[in-house]
Structure 1
Amino acid sequence: MTTSAAAPALPAWRDPECWQTSADVVAVLLALSLPWSTSLVGIFGVVLLIAVAPTLDLKAYWALLKQPICVAPIALFMLALAGTLWSDAAWGARLYAVGPTAKLLVLPVLFYHFQRSTRGMWVFAAFLVSCTLLMLMSWLVLLHPEFVLKHPEAAERGIFVKNYIDQSQEFALCAVALAYPIGTLLREKRIALAALLIAIALGLFANMAFVVVSRTVLVTVPIMFAAVALFHLRWRSIVLILCAAAALVVVAWYSSPQLRWTVETFSRDYEIYKERNAPTSIGLRLEFWRKSLGFFAEAPVVGHGTGATRGLFERVATPVKNLASSEVIGNPHNQTLNVAVQWGIVGVVVLYAMWILHLLLFRGDGLVNWIGLLVVVQNIFTSLFNSHIFDFHEGWMYVLGVGVAGGMMLRARSAEVGEPERPICP
């Protein structure tokens, strides 16, 4: 009679299970820090890559990299890198302009890791908790401005860290995303948890209505609701949500002078720009877009090269200061034009291919599809007014949201077709 000795346990630093758990924890920490800090996000992003590396099955990872959902973001980074060769900007400006595309390389890593991890929902829960705490802090600094971290001259109403644009993007994403789990919990008669999520969603919407909100969010939130509802909700649910949203808008409009003032600035800023060429927010965007279209027409195929945008604006700026036409910028505040000026129609095709492929990734029902689709839809429509793939905060929201949700969907689809679960490492 023979006995077989149990295999000795691996030390923690060599155990793939320990590395996978570590990567999950780092992803949660990244989500927690995203609303509060840029430095921590950068640190945790690097640590995440280090934690995932020991778990890689190189053959499986290579197969994943060849899928279109990974090819497109990698191609955009490679195009930015190649674009340095035909740009006439200084080499420092060229390499600096490559940086905003580098975060897209984290997408395949997140797809790979959360295709194998079962803790993806922890990341979304961490982001919601963090945004809820930031919302409470926003109310606190509204009442007690002395708590603001910024210098009093640079402080913004209700903003504890970062700026009102980033805060509005976070709050809008969480508030709209909560519609799906709230509906599910109410159908399941789980009233206490549904009530908690309703309170959080209302708190986020109230903060945007009564404290501060970006005009981009005012435009894009209805589009986000409409686009995602058409994909995921039945007509009865859509009608109920529209009625509830309309009631909230009416209440907010008549009770919030801050909201009315924000909406009124649309027409006011446009009129001041047209009459005086004044550098208002809307006027500057119109000026940037008009000039960017001209730059694109000059080099429509492959653009002017990586980092060339600022030099182009300097070339056409009027000498008179304090006018919209005299402003010089390296970001035309539109993602499509930002890409088109630097890499022409080739870059635009790659950008839109990435968005479309990531939209198609989240076909079907379920909370994960809802979250993933919402992240992509928000990024597409807010990128009409900003360069939110390249902006640090909103770009990381896209990478983290699409990467985690996409990995979870790849895992679910593998289970549906009966594929065996792959090992964590070779």
Structure 2
Amino acid sequence: MLSVMASARHDPSARMLNVDLIAVLVAVLLPWSTSGVGIGMVVWLAALAATLELRPFLRSLQRPICALPIVLVALAALGTLWSDASWGARLYALSPATKLLFLPFLFYHFERSTRGMWVFVAFLASCTLLTVASWMVVIDPSLSLKAPGDPAGYGIFVKNYIDQSQEFVLCTVVLAFPIITLLRDGKIRQALLLTAVAANFVLNMAFVVVSRTALVTLPIMLAVFAMAHLKWRTNVFLSVTAVVLGALAWTVSPQLQATTDRFVRDYRIYKEFNQPTSIGLRLEFWEKSLRFFAEAPVIGHGTGSTRGLFEAAATGPAVLAQGHVIGNPHNQTLNVAVQWGMIGIVILYAMWFSHFALFRGEGLAAWIGLMVVLQNMFSSLFNSHLFDFHEGWMYVLGVGVAGGMVLRARSGGAEPSGTARS
């Protein structure tokens, strides 16, 4: 890799490869590191600058898939002007949105590159290695990088169970496409290998740890795959099989039982005792956020205003649900609505749906991009995942790389289209 970087000064193809390899490195780091991803993307952008042709790039910005993320970030920047928060709070709230500015550059580069799939293979391999680390932590908890005795660290080597679950769900659903395609082509051995990899992710979520958001989004994403790529007889068979296997997994997995039981328990504790459970706090945050939105429905309260609004609305001690203060209402739509009103909501959903429409087609790249968008949209019902670091970068990298590959295929590039109907 160092030799490639050294020769890139004089060889345009080596410069392109250099940009691809840095993107691959970022994909490898994403399940493991935050600072590594941030530094890596800055280095990637600097490497891309050496290959960028200004006029074609500026023309590409006219596409809605590029323009809408820029408009959303611009709105967030303008929102600092009418916010009552301190300037430190305004800039801190602006920062999570700025990662969306990488999308036009990713579209542009991977529309030219033939190595976009390298990035996804690297991410899959890295997540697979993370499952190995997770199983090892179950056997020996001292291997975890989490604080000793942290109950949220069970089966977690690094980061947290929400990020880990998001990665494993995405890998599981994306693998469904090549598995079906390989089976259709009679490549049984390769299909069984990928099935084993997918099963590893599912077993880890079933018997080690899984987030409740993942429990909701996984069946939805699998249902989308079934409707899009399988015949109705196969759907019926797989639906029955999924129900049976799901019931069996719930029966034999204490972790899965505990996760599902917490839905009802947390809601009851919140309603009866006003205790700050996960579900209870979300209901509290959402109710107050709707009230904040109603107070400034057009342009919102401004960037970084959320925490101040919750501080003013807090009633009672912090140990009770009504007394909790937060800067993130755990819902992407409400997060945008409170700060930038209906204008922000329209831009957010226009961006999501423009990216969704980009991936309405055949082929593995289109399938990957579609699943990344759907996962982000559904999981953002319960979290502000577009603006969260890990899930936000999953979206930016996934949509940017897959989008570039789809654009390349549509313009006559070499990306295969393929199908997975069975």
- Asked whether 1:39 is paired with 2:35, we answer yes
Cα shift readout 1:166-186 (whole Å, capped 9, x = no counterpart):
000000000111111011111
- The aligned amino acid for 1:19 is R
- The aligned amino acid for 1:229 is A
Query: Residue 166 of structure 2: which of 147, 164, 169 is its match?
Result: 169
What is the match of residue 203 of structure 2? 206
Assess, with a 3 A threshold, how the Cα gap between structure 1 residues 344 and 122 changes in structure 2: closer, same or farther: same
Greater radius of gyration (CA): 1
Query: Residue 188 of structure 2: which of 191, 205, 212 is its match?
Result: 191
What is the match of residue 423 of structure 1? none
Inter-partner Cα distance in structure 2 for 1:256 and 1:12? 52
Conserved 8 A contact 1:368-1:405: yes
What is the match of residue 304 of structure 1? 301
Conserved 8 A contact 1:296-1:340: yes
- Asked whether 1:234 is paired with 2:231, we answer yes
TM-score (norm 2): 0.94
Inter-partner Cα distance in structure 2 for 1:125 and 1:242? 28
1:58-137 matched pairs, under 5 angstroms: 58-137=54-133
Q: Secondary structure at the match of 1:181?
A: helix
- The aligned amino acid for 1:38 is T
- Asked whether 1:252 is paired with 2:249, we answer yes
Q: CA deviation at 1:12?
A: 3.2
Q: Secondary structure at the match of 1:178?
A: helix
- Asked whether 1:281 is paired with 2:258, we answer no
1:382-397 matched pairs, under 5 angstroms: 382-397=379-394
TM-score (norm 1): 0.93
Conserved 8 A contact 1:232-1:370: no
Q: Secondary structure at the match of 1:37?
A: coil
- Asked whether 1:218 is paired with 2:231, we answer no
- The aligned amino acid for 1:383 is S
Cα shift readout 1:224-243 (whole Å, capped 9, x = no counterpart):
11234333443344334323
- The aligned amino acid for 2:109 is H
Q: CA deviation at 1:245?
A: 2.2
Deviates more, 1:217-226 or 1:331-340: 217-226
- The aligned amino acid for 2:48 is V
Conserved 8 A contact 2:84-2:305: yes
Deviates more, 1:86-95 or 1:48-57: 48-57
- Asked whether 1:380 is paired with 2:373, we answer no
- The aligned amino acid for 2:32 is W
What is the match of residue 408 of structure 2? 411
Conserved 8 A contact 2:7-2:14: no
What is the match of residue 420 of structure 2? none
Q: CA deviation at 1:165?
A: 0.2
- The aligned amino acid for 1:366 is G
- The aligned amino acid for 2:92 is Y
Query: Residue 312 of structure 2: which of 305, 312, 315 is its match?
Result: 315
Inter-partner Cα distance in structure 2 for 1:321 and 1:77? 33
What is the match of residue 4 of structure 1? none
- Asked whether 1:156 is paired with 2:157, we answer no
Assess, with a 3 A threshold, how the Cα gap between structure 1 residues 58 and 45 changes in structure 2: closer, same or farther: same
What is the match of residue 367 of structure 1? 364
Inter-partner Cα distance in structure 1 for 2:240 and 2:177? 16
Assess, with a 3 A threshold, how the Cα gap between structure 1 residues 368 and 12 changes in structure 2: closer, same or farther: closer
Q: Which runs of 5+ in 1 are unaligned?
A: 1-9, 418-426
Conserved 8 A contact 1:232-1:364: no
Q: Secondary structure at the match of 1:162?
A: coil
Q: CA deviation at 1:105?
A: 0.5
- The aligned amino acid for 1:258 is Q
- The aligned amino acid for 1:284 is L
- The aligned amino acid for 1:23 is V
What is the match of residue 270 of structure 1? 267
Inter-partner Cα distance in structure 1 for 2:211 and 2:147? 21
Q: Once superposed, which parts of structure 1, at least 4 consecutive aligned residues long, lie more than 4 Å away?
A: none
Q: CA deviation at 1:368?
A: 1.0
Deviates more, 1:108-117 or 1:147-156: 147-156
Cα shift readout 1:13-62 (whole Å, capped 9, x = no counterpart):
14321211011000100100000000110011101101111111111101
Conserved 8 A contact 1:232-1:365: no
Q: CA deviation at 1:251?
A: 2.1
Q: Which runs of 5+ in 2 are unaligned?
A: 1-5, 415-422
- Asked whether 1:144 is paired with 2:140, we answer yes
Q: Secondary structure at the match of 1:13?
A: coil
Q: CA deviation at 1:200?
A: 0.8
Conserved 8 A contact 2:274-2:321: yes
- The aligned amino acid for 1:66 is Q
- The aligned amino acid for 1:128 is L
Count of residues in correspondence between the two structures: 408
Inter-partner Cα distance in structure 2 for 1:272 and 1:350? 37
Conserved 8 A contact 1:29-1:44: yes
Inter-partner Cα distance in structure 1 for 2:265 and 2:222? 27
Conserved 8 A contact 2:124-2:171: yes
Cα shift readout 1:243-296 (whole Å, capped 9, x = no counterpart):
342232122111101101110110110011001110000000000000000000
Inter-partner Cα distance in structure 2 for 1:16 and 1:235? 49
- Asked whether 1:338 is paired with 2:332, we answer no
Inter-partner Cα distance in structure 1 for 2:279 and 2:358? 34
Conserved 8 A contact 2:127-2:168: yes
Conserved 8 A contact 2:147-2:153: no
Conserved 8 A contact 1:180-1:367: yes
- Report the aligned-residue RMSD: 1.5
Conserved 8 A contact 2:146-2:156: no
Inter-partner Cα distance in structure 1 for 2:40 and 2:276? 38
